[in-house]
Amino acid sequence: MKQQTISQLISSIKRGEISVVEHIEKILEEAKQTNVMLNHFNIIAKDSALKQAKEIDAGLKTGRHKGKLLGVPLSVKDCICVKDIESRAGSKILSDYFPLFDATVIAKARAEGAIIIGKTAQDEFGFGTFSNNTGVGFEKPLNPVNPKRSCGGSSGGSAGFTGATKFAHGSLGQSTGGSIAAPASFCGVVGLTPTYGRVSRYGLIDYANSLDKIGSIGKTVEDAALLLEVISGHDVNDSTSLQEKVSGLSDLKPSSDLKIGIAKDFFEGCEEGVQKECMKAIDKLEKAGSKIEEISLPLNVKYGVAAYYLVSTTEASTNLARYCGMRYGLHDKIEGSFNEYFSNVRSKGFSQEAKRRILLGTFARMAGFRDAYYLKAMKLRTKLIKEFQEAFGKVDVIVNPTMPIVAPTFSEIEELSPMQEYAMDLCTVPANLAGLPHASVPVGTSKKMPVGLMITANHLEEEKMVKASLAFEEVCK
């Protein structure tokens, strides 16, 4: 059976062919059954989802309900706040935290008729590449293609369920260093990450403020583009939110007129099967009329990962200092000095990886080390952005493998040291460090697992990113 797109679902709902309540009941049941095996959800919001579905069905009878996402089931990464639904960013430290408000992206999606069906599993606070760094008490989400393998991280549950469900569905993910693109690649779905500031971060539980971006995950480019279109736009509640007009991304068509830059530096070190599938897709697009040019990004390849981890851990260390066990989330019996209480709660609430990144970031911002590490990384970040800008003077979009490998087994991940795991982000962190919009689109398979191609555009050029993504999707059908 051909997969139904979000736009097709909405058309069926508007024609009265599908009851929203019945559709939501079916996907909730699927989510429940799938979750037993694959752990894609931390929370399934059955009651609130059905309540909203009933309201939409009632409104349809009187012609009151409209919207670009009318009746569309939407899963949400756990770090994005949803009113009255426990939102923990995958961490025990935020146990029993029920936000009193919707994040801006949730409010926008709801206003267009989307129905929140649950909060998806992730690496704690986004700290991971494979969704294996889940917080204390959380289960690892498993790959829908092969449960012995990783979903990718940190938006693993979002991409995992999108790949697993047989229903039209969208998901909101969040990316700091590749956390939308990586799981999209591993699970064989589409992930769109916008320009930094294009989508409001208000209501996002932060990892690193200068890097965090909320984006979309869908089965098709059209699905993900529609969702990104809805959540984009200026927000007075977010000082980093951009005021540039948002185009109709969902109305775009594939374009083979774009000039494609192949970032050959990022192909080196990738598995042979990954390189082969990505080059095969590029060759198909060239035959369809696209102009292909090799480009080089040597500074990004050499220094991108190091600069990213210095910036991100420093900002994470500052952000996570707020979890002291007194305001909200995990708390304990108050006794001893503040430092003793503070250390006790945080020792219980944070996972090993969270503690590692807090320690690294705290060291990098200490007096005597801040200039040598954090500020030097920020200066290097400027040079890396400049290198991208020079490349975009020659090409419209840049392509490379999203990940250097296909989804690994959990036993393979266990053999990696933290440094080796961080190095897996080589292809995704440069674009994130530069705040550039990028997509991951499935282009083939290797070892019977999906391979994703990453398509990066210049700042605020989401249109080119989507047009190129549609083109690759079309030639790789």
Catalytic residues: 77, 154, 179
Q: Is 18 helix (H, G, I), strand (E, B) or coil?
A: coil
Token duo for residue 292: 């292909």
Q: How many residues does the chain have?
A: 477
Q: Of 227, 238, 243, whose CA–CA distance to 108 is shortest?
A: 227
95: preceding bond cis by omega (within 30 degrees): no
DSSP string spanning 423-435? HTTTTTHHHHHTT
- Start-end of H helices in 208-248: 221-231
Token duo for residue 86: 């426990």
Residue given tokens 């994470």 in the structure block: 316
- Start-end of H helices in 249-296: 272-287
Cα dihedral value 456, 132, 365, 194, nearest 10: 20
d(CA 277, CA 294): 17
Token duo for residue 431: 């674009």
Q: Which residues contact 456 (CB under 8 A, 6 or more apart)?
A: 388, 397, 398, 399, 400, 431, 436, 437, 438, 465
Residue 256 CA from chain centroid, whole number: 27
Token duo for residue 92: 């025990």
Answer yes or no: are the C-beta atoms of 5 and 30 closer than 8 Å. no
d(CA 66, CA 15): 12
Intra-chain end-to-end CA distance of the chain, in Å = 15
